[in-house]
Structure 1
Amino acid sequence: MTRFSLMQTPAPPGVGESCLRRQLPRHDCEACVTVCPVQAITATATTPTLNALDCLQCGRCLFVCPADALQNIRPETRHFTASTLVAPFSTLAPSVDELLMWHQQHGIRAVEMELEAFPGWVRAVAALNIRLRALNTPAWQILPPRQKAINTARRHFIKASEVDVQSTTVSIGRRARRQAFSALSEYQLSLDQAQCTVCGACARVCGERALSLGEGALTFSSSSCTGCNSCAVVCPVNAVRIDRQLGDNRVLRFSWRQKTCRCCQREFYTFSDKVERCFICLRHTYDMREA
């Protein structure tokens, strides 16, 4: 048994192997870099680098990462009673993405605070309400602090406590947000069927299984998409695009057909009935591959 385990230094925060930049060298994801309030995360050619000395452990990066790649960082523990967040509050205001999870996971609908004392929180709630309005969901309120019935300075004498106040965290990442808001989607697929060669690269790279190729069609389920954009990164003909678009969940089905190229006689796949040559032969404008 290891002795003095409580004295061990905790592992520093960092970026794990599941980072999209590590998985796909061409990927340009900068979700964590963009939201870091102190620029503790910087993007390099292969992967973001996290400076543990600058990191505030605020957890904002946790809620935007599409691959849950951040390590040794925990979301802020917050306090609430019934449907209201209560003091103590963090100096740095939470992100809208975190507040959305409090809204959905714990049914929070208000914050109890003094407006002048926490201007950052006021702005965060205002931004949250704009997002909630787009979701047709009840907005949050900011309530004045209630007068405490118990003198907390003498609490250790009278053995009383505010039993209705709880503390916890919320789930992190875009995957968790997709599950929490399962009836809505944040991203939609645009497919250029004239350019697509039905190679299946987009479906194979999709870690969320939002894209699948089989049974005569390429299928996209918007409820599973986290907007990681890996499908667009690996597409060799730039036929795939993921757009940020809030709406109801949709399942798009693009039916493909198996045909025989009239030039090289090889089988190929296409979305169009009019195409008679495979995509390789189409690039040979002088019919160099004519059988």
Structure 2
Amino acid sequence: MRARCARAKCRHNACDACVRACPTQAIRADSSGVSLNARDCIRCGNCLFVCPTDAIEGPAPLRHIVDGTIEAVDGPPPTAQELLLLHAAHRLRAVLGDAASPWRASVDAANKTLNALGRSPIDWKLPQTSAAPSPSRRAFLRRGSDRIAHIVAATSAEPASQALCSAFHDVSLRRIDLSLDACTLCGACTRICPHAALSIEALSFVTDHQRCTGCTLCRDSCLESAIDIVDVPCAAAPDIHPLSSGECPRCGRTFFNWQSRQTAPLCHICRKRSMLYGDMSAP
């Protein structure tokens, strides 16, 4: 858990998604990192779906879907992320439950994302209350002769955060905003990103929005504050920024420049030293 946790990778990162998702406060975060109290864990799986770096491992909860509908059973409600995965991968289209069910908030949050993506929402169905005989909730789940029923987990082979990104393959759930004016192409973001959403390939700087899981490690490690992660859906196509390369006349390192910007005379390390100690020109 600690090795892949965003807090362990960058001391400026303040991710607490698992803490907020845990219904029993079994997960805690402090200056030393994130810890799990196994005695308080009820195996609800909520932490699996909200962790952006897939630092938490475990089996996803099984959900019983009948004709695209799932019952809002007692116990901790699923996260919006799990409902989105069930919607995309297993055609979840409705939730059956009382109006006061704690599942309602998760469905509303999932529908906010689905509406932004232009997808059909998850409907909320109230139990039948008419005097006429009607199937009970238990019968609703058990009937199989005239319904399509299956038990599924939202994700199994693929980590939850990556599964959610690939589930909506034609759009991205968030956008990576990169300031070319501020970025010095030091490469810190490309090295720390756990999902290769930022990379330098064949003299191009690539921002692959569809791969971004929102961990903000790139933003938190950027000394120039050149990156921001915005939770707004956008096209899945990556942004490709052409680069040029050169050799620093001061230290001899090969470094990159934005092809669309004025060529920097020095590599980013020597430029930083020159700003601190004066003399921006090469020797």
Normalising to structure 2: TM-score of the pair? 0.79
2:96 corresponds to 1:112: yes
Query: Could you tell me which amino acid in structure 2 is paired with residue 36 of structure 1?
Result: C
Residues 10-53 of structure 1 show CA distances to partners (whole Å, capped at 9, x for unaligned) of: xxxxx353222233444322221222233221113342111222
- Percent sequence identity over aligned pairs: 29
2:66 alignment counterpart: 81
The within-5 A match list for 1:164-183 is 164=147, 165-171=149-155, 173-183=160-170
What displacement does 1:207 show?
2.2
- Tell me: CA distance 1:90–1:193, structure 2 relative to 1, closer, same or farther (3 Å): same
Q: Give the number of aligned pairs.
A: 264
Distance 2:234 2:228 in 1: 17
Query: Could you tell me which amino acid in structure 2 is paired with residue 85 of structure 1?
Result: I
Distance 2:109 2:221 in 1: 34
Which structure's relative contact order is higher, taking Cα pairs within 8 Å and 6+ residues apart?
2
* Structure number with bigger Rg: 1
What displacement does 1:274 show?
5.2
1:273 alignment counterpart: 262
Distance 1:200 1:189 in 2: 15
- Tell me: CA distance 1:227–1:123, structure 2 relative to 1, closer, same or farther (3 Å): closer
- Tell me: CA distance 1:273–1:50, structure 2 relative to 1, closer, same or farther (3 Å): same
The within-5 A match list for 1:125-144 is 125-144=107-126
1:97 aligns with one of 62, 67, 81: 81
2:50 corresponds to 1:50: no
Distance 2:108 2:230 in 1: 25
SS at match of 1:43: strand
Query: Could you tell me which amino acid in structure 2 is paired with residue 121 of structure 1?
Result: W
SS at match of 1:232: helix
- Tell me: CA distance 1:287–1:130, structure 2 relative to 1, closer, same or farther (3 Å): closer
2:17 corresponds to 1:31: yes
Distance 1:204 1:286 in 2: 29
Residues 60-110 of structure 1 show CA distances to partners (whole Å, capped at 9, x for unaligned) of: 1111111221134x33322121211137x1322222111111111111111
SS at match of 1:245: coil
2:185 alignment counterpart: 198
- Tell me: CA distance 1:194–1:82, structure 2 relative to 1, closer, same or farther (3 Å): same
| RMSD, aligned α-carbons | 2.9
Note the residue ranges of structure 2 that are not aligned, 5 or more in a row: 129-133
2:233 corresponds to 1:246: yes
What displacement does 1:199 show?
2.3
- Tell me: CA distance 1:200–1:288, structure 2 relative to 1, closer, same or farther (3 Å): closer
SS at match of 1:212: strand
